[in-house]
Amino acid sequence: MFGKILIANRGEIALRVICACKELGIRTVAVYSEPDRYSLHVRFADEAVCIGPAKSSESYLNVAAIISAAEITGAEAIHPGYGFLAENPKFAEVCETSRLTFIGPRPESIRLMGDKNAARKRMAELGLPVLPGTEVVRAEGEALKAAEQIGYPVIVKASAGGGGRGMRIVRSTDELPSLLQTAQNEAEASFGSSDVYLEKYIASPRHIEFQVLADEHGKVVHLGERECTIQRRHQKVLEESPSTQVDAGLRREVGHKVIQALKAIGYRNAGTVEFLMDENRNLYFLEMNTRIQVEHPVTEMVTGLDLVKLQIQLATGEALPIEGETVGLRGHAIECRICAEDAESFTPSAGKITGFHMPGGTGVRVDTAAYAESIIPPYYDSLIAKLIVHGKDRTEAIQRMKRALEMFIIEGISTSIPMHEKILADPDFRAGKFSTQFLSRFSPNGVGG
């Protein structure tokens, strides 16, 4: 087991990794930007190193500063969390070159899955169903011809990224030229590559993802699925497990295919394979995230496993302590992402938290690095807390989340709590009848999908 791990991240995920390390008896090193000097991950780590100013490119994305911090503190491994450098194959390679264990997949796996078009092609070769689509398209004429063959509507997607950037829905020939150019420009600005591809667009899909773990000895398991359909501009808002649309047979069938595909590419550590589900409950491979997910707690709640501790143990070469291809799922879990933003306009709301009370009680968990008098800086992601509940079934989980939201007090800034209360009160949500367009009903501008 490692003696010391550096966490190359901030906020709640950095604190989450620190908690796992403490339970494993591992010392921790926090890195922080100047505005994060008084953050909880800095306070609870055994050591902390300032790596630069507020700008991410000069701090949390500064590979040289992070590697230097690891070397001067004697860290043996680096946990990247999610976001920032978590899916950067060059960073994983630099860690290896510097004789630091990167707690995650091998660089070649990160590189393969980071190219969405290449990942889609490879997964299709390995037996996962994919939507009709193209290779990288660059010229307008090439795109127009491909779109006619696929059939409108189509969606333009950035090959090198995700999260809704470099993505445009095209419903007709007239729209394609301008939207193709817009997507290419956005992809170049966001990911340093203007490469895009076309894919058949499903108007009202569900978003289903499978959590996987893989050890150094060739064993791969899946931990069931998460329902991540409630989204705003392709960003997840609420997640749950299991999905109301996935029965035991479908879970077993798709889970087995996922395991076989990941064995074929030699995948290691944690990852998530994401799918779109159409109205006939057909699943199509979307992408793979080669890291721990924001929503990993819902899987922890229904499996009883600590995924971050398992990540660390797998990185040391330990074998997976799971027999067979999966584990049983117990009850139902829901996660609400609480963000520092206005619940109506979704504009960011940075500032000082003047009052803070976290809900508790049976089946309630809060992952956060916020506290009363803490400052929410304007420089980073607006996520400030994840509220997770577990119940014996979905009905109990919804009721438990409803009361937990009512008892969650955050004053001084605006938060997305009122939006979550609207979601939970919606009859269609409670009945499990929704798609990625669900949130559009709460906004005249349409913020779903």
- What distance in Å separates the CA atoms of residue 49 and residue 42, rounded to the nearest whole number? 9
CA distances, 265 to each of 31, 42, 259, 307, 322 (Å)? 33, 37, 10, 22, 21
Q: Is 192 exposed, middle or buried (0-12, 13-18, 19+ CB in 10 A)?
A: exposed
350 vs 287: CA distance, rounded Å: 32
Cis peptide, bond prior to residue 153, ω within 30 of zero: yes
Among candidate residues 111, 291, 365, 400, the one labeled active-site is 291
Q: What is the dihedral of CA 315, 319, 320, 321, to 10 degrees?
A: -130
Note the helical H segments in 102-196.
107-114, 116-125, 140-150, 176-191
Is position 233 annotated as part of the catalytic site?
Answer: no
Strands 27-33 and 4-7: parallel
Residues 6+ apart with CB under 8 A from 64: none
In angstroms, how far is the first alpha carbon of the chain from the final one?
A: 42
Our CA angle for 48, 50, 56, nearest 5°, is 125
The whole-angstrom separation of Cα 389 and Cα 348 is 25
Which alpha helices (DSSP H) does 192-322 contain, by range?
248-264, 296-303, 307-315
Q: Are 360 and 381 in contact (CB under 8 A)?
A: no
Q: At a CB cut-off of 8 Å and minimum separation 6, what does 73 contact?
A: 4, 6, 29, 47, 49
> Is the Cβ–Cβ distance between 109 and 275 less than 8 Å?
no
Which residues are catalytic, by number?
291
